[in-house]
């Protein structure tokens, strides 16, 4: 077996695991269509019937959890216009320096480049049009649960605690605040649909130790160059590293090129999925975008089929309507 060329090995592995029903996670809502993390984006996502909707979480100056992808707010709001004096020495604006009331006075818009201000995805919702505001985590939960009631659905939530070490440096305990809100809405009972995700392994370990949650946790795996956390993801991706992850988390959230590596206009499957499955870890990979696809595939649906064949359990996607259509 060890002498077989990689392509034959890949075919054998592919045959071993039949395609399965994918868990669909609406990444930052239906962010392919509306500005990410707004309640409008979450509402549209809900109408697409995904399994989960994702809010990323950061804290305000007055300790409120808000739904934002970054600790910075200059790429998704008009903060530089409204509060020009509140930037830090590095020229960036941080959510943690603003009260909820101040954040609510901002206009949320489609993500743009921090220097040029140009939209990252130019075919998406036009920047600065209409009117969207920053949502709190509580508002997000009440929206999803309200729609679950009125639409007779049971769509879950998939919160991500952003940059716990940055919050700690700024004297904020994002773990405690997240637990508190989840507890207030009954998610700590183990009976409601939820996954909790984080890039920082020490934060997940600490969360487990402090709160012993009954819900599953997902260790996100990034690339070291992104500096998402103090973790060494190269080490985490080894069989030994993944075994360690299985001691505190129920699954992993790898970047999809860590599962499928592009080779010219084709691809090869890495051993990651196989190793993770052998450890009993769920695999929810990110991020499938119809407007940012690798060369070897022409739709998020096609990409999800390849991933499902390799045993991947779920996908984060900006286009939750395009996978199960």
Query: For Ca ion, how many residues bind (rule: CB under 5 A)?
Result: 2
Q: Which residues of 243-263 are buried (b: 16+ CB within 10 A; e: fewer)?
A: ebbbebbbbbbbebebbbeee
Closest CB 18 distance from Ca ion, rounded Å = 29
Q: Does the protein bind Ca ion through residue 318 (CB under 5 A)?
A: no
Question: In terms of CB distance, is 51 or 269 closer to Ca ion?
Answer: 51
Which residue, 233, 236, 235, 217, is CA-closest to 225? 233
27 catalytically annotated: yes
Question: In terms of CB distance, is 56 or 310 closer to Ca ion?
Answer: 56
The β-bridge partners of 255 are: 286
Q: Which stretch binds Ca ion (CB under 5 A): 49-57, 75-83, 100-108, 263-271?
A: 49-57
Q: Residue 52: enclosing H or E segment and its boundaries? A: strand 52-53
CB atoms within 10 A of CB 297: 17
Q: Active site residue: 37, 46, 69, 167, which one?
A: 69
CA distance 22 to 14: 16
Closest CB 190 distance from Ca ion, rounded Å = 23
CA distance 12 to 9: 5
Residue nearest to Ca ion (CB): 160
Q: Active site residue: 27, 72, 167, 284, which one?
A: 27
Q: Which stretch binds Ca ion (CB under 5 A): 48-56, 83-91, 105-113, 205-213?
A: 48-56
CA distance 90 to 283: 36
- Answer for which of 160, 200, 310, 321 binds Ca ion (CB under 5 A) is 160
Question: In terms of CB distance, is 131 or 165 closer to Ca ion?
Answer: 165
Closest CB 288 distance from Ca ion, rounded Å = 13
Question: In terms of CB distance, is 245 or 269 closer to Ca ion?
Answer: 245
Closest CB 56 distance from Ca ion, rounded Å = 4
Q: Which stretch binds Ca ion (CB under 5 A): 40-48, 54-62, 176-184, 233-241?
A: 54-62
Residues in the chain: 325
CA distance 197 to 229: 13
- Answer for which of 36, 56, 110, 318 binds Ca ion (CB under 5 A) is 56
Q: Which stretch binds Ca ion (CB under 5 A): 31-39, 45-53, 155-163, 200-208?
A: 155-163
- Where does the chain have alpha helices with state H? 6-16, 39-47, 79-82, 100-104, 137-150, 164-169, 174-184, 201-211, 233-236, 239-245, 272-278, 300-309
Closest CB 169 distance from Ca ion, rounded Å = 21
Distances from the Cα of 135 to the Cα of 21, 68, 176, angstroms: 31, 8, 19
Active site residues: 27, 69
Which chain residues interact with Ca ion by CB under 5 A?
56, 160
């Amino acid at each position: 077996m060890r002498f077989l060329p990689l392509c034959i090995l890949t075919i054998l592995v592919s045959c071993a695991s039949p395609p399965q029903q994918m868990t669909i996670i609406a990444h930052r809502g239906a962010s392919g269509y509306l500005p990410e993390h707004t309640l409008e984006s979450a509402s549209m996502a809900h109408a697409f019937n995904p399994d989960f909707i994702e809010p990323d979480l950061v804290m305000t100056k007055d300790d409120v959890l808000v739904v934002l992808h970054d600790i910075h707010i200059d790429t998704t709001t008009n903060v530089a216009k409204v509060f020009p004096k509140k930037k830090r020495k590095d020229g960036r604006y941080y959510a943690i320096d603003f009260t909820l009331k101040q954040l609510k006075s901002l206009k949320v818009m489609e993500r743009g480049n921090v220097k040029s201000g140009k939209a990252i995805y130019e075919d998406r919702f036009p920047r600065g049009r209409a009117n969207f505001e920053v949502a709190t985590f509580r508002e997000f939960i009440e929206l999803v649960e309200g729609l679950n009631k009125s639409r007779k659905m049971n769509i879950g939530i998939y919160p991500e605690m952003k940059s716990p070490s940055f919050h700690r440096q700024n004297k904020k305990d994002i773990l405690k605040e997240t637990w508190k809100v989840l507890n207030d809405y009954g998610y700590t009972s183990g009976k409601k649909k939820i996954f909790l995700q984080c890039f920082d392994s020490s934060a997940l370990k600490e969360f487990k130790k402090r709160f012993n949650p009954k819900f599953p946790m997902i260790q996100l795996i990034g690339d070291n160059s992104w500096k998402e956390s103090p973790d060494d993801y190269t080490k985490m991706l080894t069989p030994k590293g993944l075994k360690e992850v299985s001691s505190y988390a129920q699954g992993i959230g790898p970047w999809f090129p860590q599962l499928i590596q592009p080779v010219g206009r084709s691809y090869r499957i890495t051993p990651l999925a196989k190793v993770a499955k052998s450890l009993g870890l769920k695999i929810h990979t990110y991020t499938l975008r119809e407007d940012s696809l690798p060369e070897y595939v022409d739709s998020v649906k096609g990409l999800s089929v390849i991933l499902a064949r390799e045993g991947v359990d779920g996908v984060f996607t900006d286009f939750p309507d395009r996978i199960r259509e």
